[in-house]
Amino acid sequence: MARLIKVGSGGDEIEWKDALNNIQPDDVLLLEPGYYRIEPGFNVNDLTIKGTGSSPEDTVIEGYFVLGSECSFFTLENLAINTKSKNNSIFVEQTANTYLTLRNTVIHGGNDDTAGIAVNGKCTLELFSTKIVGASLSLFKDADFRVTMNDSLIDYPSNKFAAIGIQGKGTSIISGSTVNGSISTYPNSNSELDINNCRVNKLLVHGSTWMNMINSSILDRGDTALYLSDDSWANIIRSNFVGGVFADKKVKAIMQNCKMDRLIVCDQVQITLSNCTIISHADFQDESEADATRTAFSGNNKFQYFLALNKSATLKGKDLILNPNGSVLAVKDEAKVKIKVISSSQQSLEVEGLTAPNVDIIGLKWKMKKDE
């Protein structure tokens, strides 16, 4: 049976060191506001720790925790962890099979190359109204995981490491959260990644990853703000990309009701676009295949082509909107375009390429422009 243990300096409370020295499985430690320190690499064994202050920062634990084979669960609630050493704040070892829950908790990392939470074993991880600041959430190659993250923040804008790094195998569901940094699945990952109603700086999807994204925003302005690669599958709905979407290798992607500044598709990618908007430039290369419906392709003076295809890329489309804004459509090499246009900002369109038979445009006048 779980014991409720009040920790502090009051008459009915015990001191922190005494509580740690006499911990039993299933204990619940209720910490009064204050500052607490644990020994380096404190090994957790079926424990709940709750702060009783009005905010997480009222109750601060300095140090880091290790969850091994003897720990089946660990819960932290309404407190803060400060890790000043070069250690992960919470580390789940390879031998672990555990359940880790953080509610209304703040983790402050100590170094650029350390994690707030690092998982290398089997772990069900739940983050509710939790903040990780100056450190990452890292799921290593031996991790077998299920992650639920809701109403939380990871603030880790590192140029070298991902704010959420996913290797191993498992499912990550991220909802109503903000990631000031990048989310990255790595080439050796075999995972499902669900992102719902989130704001993320950058998203890199590699390996055998199935990704679902709904009502989310990617804020980076670079060409690879969203980078889809390897054998990944992506289903993206009602999402906004301030910068570019880049897909290569054998990606299969469906994008519905999305808006992006530019789109670059390479290699053997297959992509379906429905009711999407590309603001500046779209580029289909190599053996890529694109199928677009009710999608707007626009251009501006930053790019010579508002829409470009080369090698053996193909674009099929219907009910398209073309707004070249003075730029040109390029169809080169053996690439092919077969589209129906319902609206355009121009009465006619210039197509730069080699052979007219590779171009089939209905609903808009067009003429070939020879390569200069």
Quick one: 252 and 351 in the same domain?
Answer: no
Q: Which of 145, 186, 147, 189 is nearest to 168 (CA)?
A: 189
Quick one: 132 and 151 in the same domain?
Answer: yes
Task: Among 253, 280, 307, give the residue marking a domain's end.
Answer: 280
Gap between the Cα atoms of 351 and 134, Å rounded: 50
pLDDT tops 80 at residue 287? yes
pLDDT at 106: 99
> For the segment 276-286, what is each residue's pLDDT rounded down to a tens digit?
999 999 999 99
Quick one: 306 and 247 in the same domain?
Answer: no
Quick one: 183 and 114 in the same domain?
Answer: yes
Query: Is residue 277 a contact partner of residue 301, using CB atoms and an 8 Å limit?
Result: no
- Report, as an integer, the average pLDDT of 241-259: 99
Gap between the Cα atoms of 122 and 26, Å rounded: 20
Structural domain containing residue 35: 4-280
Mean pLDDT over each residue of the chain, to the nearest integer: 95
Task: Among 265, 280, 295, give the residue marking a domain's end.
Answer: 280
> For the segment 130-185, what is each residue's pLDDT rounded down to a tens digit?
999 999 999 999 999 999 999 999 999 998 999 999 999 999 999 999 999 999 99
Quote the percentage of the chain above a pLDDT of 70.
97
Q: With bands split at pLDDT 50, 70 and 90, how would you rate the model's confidence at 126?
A: very high
Quick one: 321 and 186 in the same domain?
Answer: no
> Cα dihedral angle (278, 280, 286, 289), rounded to 10 degrees?
10
What is the token pair recorded at 111? 């170094």
Query: Is residue 311 a contact partner of residue 284, using CB atoms and an 8 Å limit?
Result: no
- Report, as an integer, the average pLDDT of 56-67: 97
Gap between the Cα atoms of 93 and 256, Å rounded: 40
Place of tokens 């959430």: 137
Quick one: 260 and 287 in the same domain?
Answer: no
Quick one: 265 and 297 in the same domain?
Answer: no
pLDDT tops 80 at residue 240? yes
pLDDT at 176: 99
Q: Which of 112, 207, 200 is nearest to 160 (CA)?
A: 112
Quick one: 222 and 352 in the same domain?
Answer: no
Query: Is residue 307 a contact partner of residue 299, using CB atoms and an 8 Å limit?
Result: yes
pLDDT at 285: 98
More confident residue, 10 or 219: 219
- The number of domains in the chain is 2
Query: Is residue 286 a contact partner of residue 265, using CB atoms and an 8 Å limit?
Result: no
pLDDT tops 60 at residue 372? no
> For the segment 72-116, what is each residue's pLDDT rounded down to a tens digit?
999 999 999 999 888 999 999 999 999 999 999 999 987 668 899
At 260, which amino acid appears?
A: M
Task: Among 225, 248, 280, give the residue marking a domain's end.
Answer: 280
